[in-house]
Structure 1
Amino acid sequence: MALMKRLQKSAVEITPIDITHNLESLQFESALNDEEKQLLTLRKRSHAMVVTACTQATFFANILHEARQIKKQMKSPQKMTAKILQDKEARDPLKVGIIGCGRLGSQLAHCLLTYGRVNPKDMKVSTRRPETLEYLQNKGVDCFHDNIKLVSLSHVVFICVLPSQIQVMAEEIKEHIPGHTILYSFVAAYSPQKLKQILQTNQILKPDLSWNKESEQNSWDCSENVNTALENPVTVEKTCPFGNLKSESVILTNEKFGELMIFALLNMCTSLRLNKSDCLSILNLTLFGGISEDKLQESDFIKKTQDSHGVFPKFDLVKISQINTSVQKRVSSSEHLRKAFINRYMMMFEEYLKRRAMLGPDMEES
């Protein structure tokens, strides 16, 4: 009997060895000739770009959602963050729309549902072939082909169409975009200035992603899908606009994009009819965890006035993307603000892993 127990214990403790791990003949590259191997950098770049784009967009949607919940609890905003992470039913949920659901759009939808605070019933997807999105529909996501309907019902719209489709889409929706709606474009061929012209709105965010010969030499695991990649804290920090590890990524993000997230969040708070004081409270809590050492103030955005109960102007996000502001200078030069931003960025993905560890397999079904 004792021998049997020792054998059972040994069987549990011994980790099976995968004899095929790192076997060259089974690697993706083994089937390529020398000419084709020169193109492997394109595969790495493409994978890193999708991971970076999805991570940043998921974080952005999450902070907008949190800000809307905090607004509902303005009497004690400092106590809200932990409660938000526990509540299943949001009081004022962020309505998310995705136009185009190819490779990037579908990956983004999965990330928003997995790591973000987006409830399936608060997400809408408009695509020419909604019947192919059975997985999302089974989750409760409303999938259809009606861009006007989607834009009119969303607080933030992620544009994931091909460059050849953007002009037709713009003509279709430009007269139906609500003033409070933020358009987040992944269409690389169109600058924010061009998008502003054809969409007739200045509430546009576009990730500033780039690469160079040095960054393409950085290591990157292309074998993982996007959701799995975001379980790695190192990978997540590489995508953070103010992250300390972003120089180690294949895809580089300009810090300017982090600044644009700040202005976009402030605009949303203003659209919720909050005064300057409340807007700043929510912004500092949501993006910087309410740190006391250093906070963004009214004078960082506009000339300081005596009226703290007044409202901020609606900032032109496209114009902000072209000029230097004191906000970017403050965040870039402040160790406290940078560290706080990174912590908030990382926390969203860490909280998901904690919830999954507590709830186990049932979490994927909930």
Structure 2
Amino acid sequence: MSDFSANLPSFQFEKAVEVCHHQFLPLRERSRGIMLNACSHAVFLCKLLDVFSQIEEPENIPLPLNLDSKRERLKVGIIGGGHTGKQLAKALLELSGLLAEHIQISTRRPETLQELLSLGVNCFYHNRRLAAWAKILFLCCLPSQLPSICSEIQKDLPESSIVYSLVSSVPISRLKQLLCHSSILRPEYQYEANDDSHIWGTSGKITAALHDEAIVQATCPWHPGGGLAANTRWFAAVIYAALNSCSNQTLPYNQSLQLLNNLLCHILGTSKGEEKSYPSFVRENFVSQRFAASLQNEDAFPRFDLTAIHQKDTPFSKLLVSSPALQDHLLQVYCTTLGVSLQAKEDGLPSFSSEPCVSSQIPEAPVEVKP
């Protein structure tokens, strides 16, 4: 349905705002920008984890994030059916490749989610049941509700489950205390007004906006736009979460790397018809050199403490920050995963060698792991 008030200035939101309050108008764009970032990042994470959740032969996994509906899929739980929870569920349904049967929502008033219920999403009020079922659990509740919810679900939360918090004002260290859990992801968004802050807009569907190339590119953590930026450690934690998924299935570290390389270092085409790929990741890109030397062929990676990865630099986060070529390549992967193809530059994509990506430039830095 079109907006009948679009060309009627007197009906616009700004018209009713007093001049003394105009300084607060940019908050609408900022709020929408945060929602767009939150939804796009959640979609990327779920598509990545969906591939990693059921692994047969790493070499048979299709190129990045093509999902097979015949195998067991990622189970996504959302606690909270307010604005954030609803927008997240809609984005996952439309953009992640997951079906309605793979998403469940626990909220105090499930009857208010008629649109999602009609699409086949199971909505109910039972936080403990949802926590026990989901492989990734999104927290979309109010900050005041978080302590009681964490106390309620912590005993039902499987050790391998990932908790993803979209609750503002509650730091990840506090979440770890409340949940007694280390597999937690929490994006932190920093905002600084600039010339392209209007890119987010103030109205329209979130899912429709995430089909826009400029908006998707602006949500990339290491290539931010619109004045909003997520810490690059968040993306590092996402990659370590994927490696944890492999370790949970006792996959040897070399097969975990093979799968990761198949997904993230795949060949990309350029406008000149050339094929470019990023050098393969090696174990030193994710653990300290000393620990890497101790790994045997049959060993799996350790289970990484995702809360610690959010709070300190790791070999992978250092590699990402120090390598513009890797940033450019992963920007292509990120946008392609979200269904957007970036226009190739005049000189094509960055030129990469076929040699492994050695981490000799990266200082040895141990990564905290769960005992």
Distance 2:332 2:65 in 1: 18
Q: 1:203 aligns with which of 156, 162, 183?
A: 183
- Unaligned runs of 5+ residues in structure 2 are 268-275, 342-371
Contact 1:120 1:140 in 2 (8 A): yes
SS in structure 2 at match of 1:125: strand
Distance 1:289 1:134 in 2: 41
Q: 1:155 aligns with which of 131, 135, 144?
A: 135
- Determine whether 1:31 maps to 2:16: yes
Contact 2:266 2:277 in 1 (8 A): no
SS in structure 1 at match of 2:192: coil
The amino acid across from 2:60 in the alignment is: S
SS in structure 1 at match of 2:164: strand
- Residue 345 of structure 2 corresponds to which residue in structure 1? none
* Alignment deviations for residues 38-85 of structure 1 (CA, whole Å, 9 cap, x no partner): 22111111111111111101111111112235x2243423xx137935
- Residue 233 of structure 2 corresponds to which residue in structure 1? 256
- Residue 297 of structure 1 corresponds to which residue in structure 2? 282
Q: 2:214 aligns with which of 214, 234, 239?
A: 234
Percentage of matched positions with identical amino acids: 32
- Relative to structure 2, which stretch is displaced further, 253-262 or 341-350? 341-350
Distance 1:20 1:178 in 2: 49
- Determine whether 1:126 maps to 2:126: no
- Determine whether 1:74 maps to 2:51: no
Distance 1:108 1:83 in 2: 19
* Alignment deviations for residues 311-363 of structure 1 (CA, whole Å, 9 cap, x no partner): 111000111111111111112222342223212211133269xxxxxxxxxxx
Q: 1:330 aligns with which of 319, 328, 335?
A: 319
SS in structure 2 at match of 1:193: helix
Distance 1:39 1:309 in 2: 57
Contact 1:220 1:250 in 2 (8 A): no
Q: 2:81 aligns with which of 88, 92, 101?
A: 101
Structure 2 length-normalised TM:
0.82
- Relative to structure 2, which stretch is displaced further, 311-320 or 204-213? 204-213
Taking only aligned residues, the RMSD between alpha carbons, in angstroms, comes to 2.4
- Residue 344 of structure 2 corresponds to which residue in structure 1? none
- Residue 285 of structure 1 corresponds to which residue in structure 2? 262
Structure 1 length-normalised TM:
0.83
- Residue 212 of structure 1 corresponds to which residue in structure 2? 192
SS in structure 2 at match of 1:295: coil
Distance 2:160 2:107 in 1: 23
Distance 1:293 1:44 in 2: 35
Distance 1:184 1:36 in 2: 35
